[in-house]
Amino acid sequence: MSFKLAGSSRAAGSCGEMVQGSRNGTPFLVTCPVNIWTEVTVRISLSGEGKDATYFPKIRRAVKEVLKIKRSSASLSFYRKSAIPPGKGMSSSTADIAAAALATSRLLGGALSPEKIAELALSIEPSDGIMFPGIHLLDHRRGSWSESLGPPPAMEVVIIDPGGCVDTVAFNRRNDLVYLNRQKEKKAEEALLLVREGVRQGDPEKIGRGATISARANQRILPKKELGEVIRLSREIKAVGVNVAHSGTVLGILLPPGAGRAEEAAAWLAHKYPYCTVQAASLISQGLN
């Protein structure tokens, strides 16, 4: 295989969402970006798409969409390296698409704005706002509402995955989803107000309260049997709240910063939940890089 040029980009994952629901029927979610990454490298190739093209059709589509935008007929191959597990509600697909789009744009000359990358991602599937820096609100179905809430205060998160997978595309096609989101709009609005204020004021406690309200409200849509106990345990370790992947499997315990605190909490929770995958992470604000 022969290559002449390459472009790369990294996209962060998200520990579920801080808030997810709808306002007056418009769906939205608020990201919880963490320091877990997907990296995509795109190269100009003289001999086909490369072995990864078979396994990652969403990346392949993102690359082709950027080729259309750039009006290029280049033959490209791509390679993916990721620490974000799929099917967990951690933005693995959006990270793939966003990183591939920016890497391809860099290869062909010039960058794509986060707004254009979001538009491209939403043309492929429902997507969150991890392509934007900081904590971001996005209408994950149509992109009609996009709002930067700002950089998160210093916070850590313990990510708990009880196992299993959720197909996000199938989840967003549920016949009852619009109705169930309508039923919890007051809770979603309350949660959003707290998270928005918490980000603006640099107040982890308000962010945690808002996230916990949204997590509880989502139990009618995608219940997590561990949620009640995780909220109780979070109080024992003086966490500020608990968030969830509203269309995935993971839960997150949100902590103010402290040397080694998230790692200690992760070890303790791994002992309590031996059937879960538990890891410590930090909230970040970089967006794509």
The CATH number of residue 39's host domain is 3.30.230.120
* pLDDT score, position 49: 55
Say yes or no to pLDDT of 279 above 80: yes
Number of folded domains that form the chain:
1
Is the residue at 78 inside a domain? yes
The H or E element that residue 195 is part of is: helix 185-201
Is the residue at 288 inside a domain? no
Is the residue at 157 inside a domain? yes
Contact 251, 227 (CB under 8 A): yes
Is the residue at 250 inside a domain? yes
Region 100-123: mean pLDDT is 95
Determine the Cα–Cα distance for residues 92 and 11; give it in Å rounded to an integer.
Answer: 9
Determine the Cα–Cα distance for residues 6 and 8; give it in Å rounded to an integer.
Answer: 7
Q: How confident is the model at residue 1 (pLDDT cuts 50, 70, 90)?
A: very low
Is the residue at 174 inside a domain? yes
Domain span at residue 266 reads 3-282
Is the residue at 287 inside a domain? no
* pLDDT score, position 4: 47
* pLDDT score, position 257: 85
Is the residue at 8 inside a domain? yes
Contact 179, 157 (CB under 8 A): no
* pLDDT score, position 54: 57
Contact 139, 21 (CB under 8 A): no
Contact 183, 220 (CB under 8 A): yes
